[in-house]
Amino acid sequence: MRTAARIALAASLAWGCETTQPATPPSAAPTAMLDAGPPMVPLGPRDESKYAPPPCDPEWRPFMSTPPLGALVATSDGRLVALAWGYAAVAVEGEWVEASVPEIELGRDRRVVFQDAASFDGDVYVVGTRLTVLRWDGVAWSLEHQDVSLGPRRFLYGSIRDCEGQLEARVEVGGVRGPDGAWRRVSREALRCPQEVPRTPRPDERCGRHTPWDRVVRCAAGWRLWSAARERWLALPDGFAEGRLHARPSVYEDETHVYVATDEGVLLETTDDGASWDRVPLGGESRVSVVLGGGGRIYAAGAETVFVREVCAPR
């Protein structure tokens, strides 16, 4: 009998059977008191001022010194670039950071003429003759591409732009930047985004000489300025007591403002589509030669100082 009992016990353990020991009644289970902690305090509305961007400043203020040479370009995200014959620089925290890339020096008579700049994926790209492309990554300049086989030809109307998520350059030839950062040479006709040459219609009044590229024309009733944003001619101040305008002046315009830099270095402004014009004082700067903008900023370059103001949304 004892042997049979041992065999039955071993079998029950092997199959995971429970023993016949009495279970502990639920009332005998140990209990513990939970500490509720301090009382809950309802949260108020979040202080948005801590997370909001800095306030927009519509007033003109000094930005930095005018570059020693070169034409100015404002990129779509508001960065300022200076370009010239063998020279490129980007404005960083009030200083001009010049491109110093030994590979772009092709000799005294074969230096690159940089002509346009664009922002792409947070970096700045400039393009010049011989399909020379420099890149500013926020830390340093680098030479990304150059086609020396193009020789010493000059092309004075180069451009570079973001074309549907892809960089396209237009100089003596066309250039397309691939996803891997490599450039390939194509014909200018093969570029997906054609270069837009702004043209102006002849005013519907008696005017003097006019070509399709002139933004300013003298008419019998006074001077007229072509507004590309408004697609019409605007009246300019009678007589230009503050300074006359060239046929193709430096102009910046948006939905509310039009700025014009006159030949005498005066910055004019209208906010009523040319019904009235005011002279913009810029802290003693006597001559303004260029006005341009991008990325919510407007720049006015004088003989010594570049001024800036922000384009603020209406309140």
What does 36-91 look like in DSSP terms, one character per residue?
A: --SPP-------GGGTSPPPP--S-EEEEEPPSSSEEEE-TTS-EEEEEBTEEEEE
Q: How far is Cα 90 from Cα 112, in angstroms, rounded to an integer?
A: 17
- Classify residue 109 by burial, with Cβ atoms within 10 Å: 0-12, 13-18, 19+: exposed
Work out the angle at residue 63's Cα, subtended by the Cα atoms of residues 59 and 69, and round it to the nearest 5 degrees: 135
Using the predicted structure, report yes or no on whether residue 80 has a pLDDT greater than 90: yes
Q: How far is Cα 147 from Cα 128, in angstroms, rounded to an integer?
A: 11
What is the end-to-end Cα distance of the chain in Å, rounded?
A: 99
pLDDT value of residue 52 = 62
Q: Is 293 left (phi over 0), alpha (psi -120 to 50) or beta?
A: beta
Query: Do the beta carbons of residue 217 and residue 210 sit within 8 Å?
Result: yes
Q: How far is Cα 290 from Cα 189, in angstroms, rounded to an integer?
A: 31
Q: What counts of helices (H) and strands (E) characterise the chain?
A: 1, 23
Q: Which CATH architecture does the domain made up of 216-310 adopt?
A: Beta Barrel (2.40)
pLDDT value of residue 18 = 43
Query: Do the beta carbons of residue 278 and residue 60 sit within 8 Å?
Result: no
pLDDT value of residue 218 = 87
Higher pLDDT among residues 151 and 76, named by residue = 76
Matching CATH number, 67-190, of 2.30.30.790, 2.130.10.10, 2.60.120.10, 3.30.420.140: 2.130.10.10
Q: Which of 264, 251, 254 is nearest to 224 (CA)?
A: 251
Span 15-41, pLDDT tens digits: 444 444 444 454 545 555 556 666 666
Q: How far is Cα 81 from Cα 299, in angstroms, rounded to an integer?
A: 11
pLDDT value of residue 259 = 95
Using the predicted structure, report yes or no on whether residue 65 has a pLDDT greater than 90: yes
Domain ranges (residues) in the chain: 67-190, 216-310
Q: Please state, as a whole number, how many other Cβ atoms lie within 10 Å of the Cβ of residue 85.
A: 13
The mean of the pLDDT values for the chain is 81
Q: How far is Cα 77 from Cα 153, in angstroms, rounded to an integer?
A: 32
Whole-Å CA distances, 14 to 7, 8, 17, 18: 11, 10, 8, 11
Q: State the alpha helices, DSSP H only, in the chain.
A: 2-14
* Structure-token match 């922002």, residue found: 119
pLDDT value of residue 53 = 64
Q: How far is CA 68 from the centre of its chain?
A: 23
- The pTM assigned to this predicted structure is 0.77
Using the predicted structure, report yes or no on whether residue 96 has a pLDDT greater than 70: yes
- The pLDDT confidence band at residue 9, using thresholds 50, 70 and 90, is very low
In DSSP notation, 174-194 reads EEEE-TTS-EEEE-GGG-SSP
Query: Do the beta carbons of residue 81 and residue 126 sit within 8 Å?
Result: yes
> Among 59-68, 180-189, 278-287, 296-305, whose mean pLDDT is lowest?
278-287
Q: How far is Cα 166 from Cα 182, in angstroms, rounded to an integer?
A: 12
